[in-house]
Amino acid sequence: MSISSRSMASKTQVGFVGLGNMGSPMAKNLLKHGYPVIATDVFPESCKELQELGAQILDSPAEVADKADRIITMLPSSPNVIEVYTGPNGILKKVKKGSLLIDSSTIDPAVSKEMALAAEKMGAVFMDAPVSGGVGAASSGKLTFMVGGVEEEFTAAKELLSCMGANVVYCGQVGTGQAAKICNNMLLAIGMIGTAETMNLGIRLGLDPKLLTKILNMSSGRCWSSDTYNPVPGVMEGVPSANNYQGGFGTTLMAKDLGLAQNTATNTKTPILLGSLAHQIFRMMCARGYAGKDFSSVFQFLREEEGQ
């Protein structure tokens, strides 16, 4: 039976499609754990480093699918995923029966479900497994994977994903990995803007920002954005607000994830009043010079400028 044959075939080759900022260090971690990697990317130069480390580079997702029966994809957005799976040189053109296809991109869960259906028609299994944690966590193998798909395949997926992440959480049917990721990031966005507004108001009312942070963190206002990633310069060290909002999680990426939250909410007719407004705020920021800064720069965005 195909499933057990895959499980027994551990340490046989693994396919990897998408060698960008995140995909590249993830694929390296597979190599480190002893898996032969067969990879491809639309930009040939992205493949060089991995090739030097011993990976085999092929020309298209279809060719990867022809050689490997376990494939991981890590792509920027929904259209790329659709192309890589169902396009003319896509994985499903040559996928083997019983293959395990794991998509770690952050995309609309409706697209994940479509891909799963398309894979099923070819006798393959598709799982969504988006990550939390940025490039640093990808390099150190400390990502968190939120996994959606058939429960019987979770063990097989976890075997691979645990080479690249510290936490691998099973979330439910296909698309729930994406759902969990989107939900977390929506609440994160709300908490961050809320913290920025609150700190700004407190400072205006005469409170010292460090003291206010201490009070919030011992009270019911406490949240990750106040106690771990405070957006006010001078309150914490080692966070983007201490480094002019360089590094971290870019405003553009947050706006993209909130766009997914907005779409899924619209499709499921779910009211998200704060989530929707948070989306619009990060969208405005992207248009006003904050696109490349860490999303905690919303504190700077809201703060009144001198001389006004």
62 to 101, contacts with its own copies by CB under 8 A? none
Strand pairing partners for 57? 39
Residues in 9-28 at the binding interface with its own copies, rule: CB under 8 A: none
Rule CB under 8 A: choose which of 191, 240, 248, 250 binds its own copies.
Answer: 191
What's the gap between Cα 219 and its chain centre? Answer: 31
Q: How far is CA 236 from CA 194, 217, 239, 245, 260, in A?
A: 18, 13, 7, 12, 31
Residues in 258-297 at the binding interface with its own copies, rule: CB under 8 A: 259, 261-266, 268-281, 283-284, 286-289, 291
The verdict on whether 97 is a catalytic residue reads no
Q: How far is CA 98 from CA 95, 101, 244, 249, in A?
A: 9, 9, 49, 36
Rule CB under 8 A: choose which of 82, 150, 215, 242 binds its own copies.
Answer: 215
Rule CB under 8 A: choose which of 1, 8, 121, 220 binds its own copies.
Answer: 220
Residues in 105-164 at the binding interface with its own copies, rule: CB under 8 A: 109, 132, 144, 146
In angstroms, rounded to a whole number, what is the distance separating the alpha carbons of residues 185 and 181? 6
Which residue lies nearer to its own copies by CB, 119 or 285?
Answer: 285
Q: How far is CA 130 from CA 147, 169, 250, 299, in A?
A: 7, 11, 17, 28
Provide the residue count of the chain: 308
Q: Exactly one of 48, 113, 142, 181 is catalytic; which is it?
A: 181
**Is position 104 an interface residue for its own copies (rule: CB under 8 A)?**
no
Q: Binding residues for its own copies, how many (CB under 8 A)?
A: 86
Q: Minimum Å distance from CB 302 to its own copies?
A: 6
In angstroms, rounded to a whole number, what is the distance separating the alpha carbons of residues 245 and 233? 9
Q: Minimum Å distance from CB 296 to its own copies?
A: 11
Which residue lies nearer to its own copies by CB, 33 or 222?
Answer: 222
Q: Minimum Å distance from CB 182 to its own copies?
A: 8
Q: Is the dihedral of CA 85, 88, 89, 94 positive or negative?
A: positive
Which residue lies nearer to its own copies by CB, 63 or 153?
Answer: 153
In angstroms, rounded to a whole number, what is the distance separating the alpha carbons of residues 54 and 48? 10
**Is position 185 an interface residue for its own copies (rule: CB under 8 A)?**
yes
Q: Write out the catalytic residue numbers.
A: 181
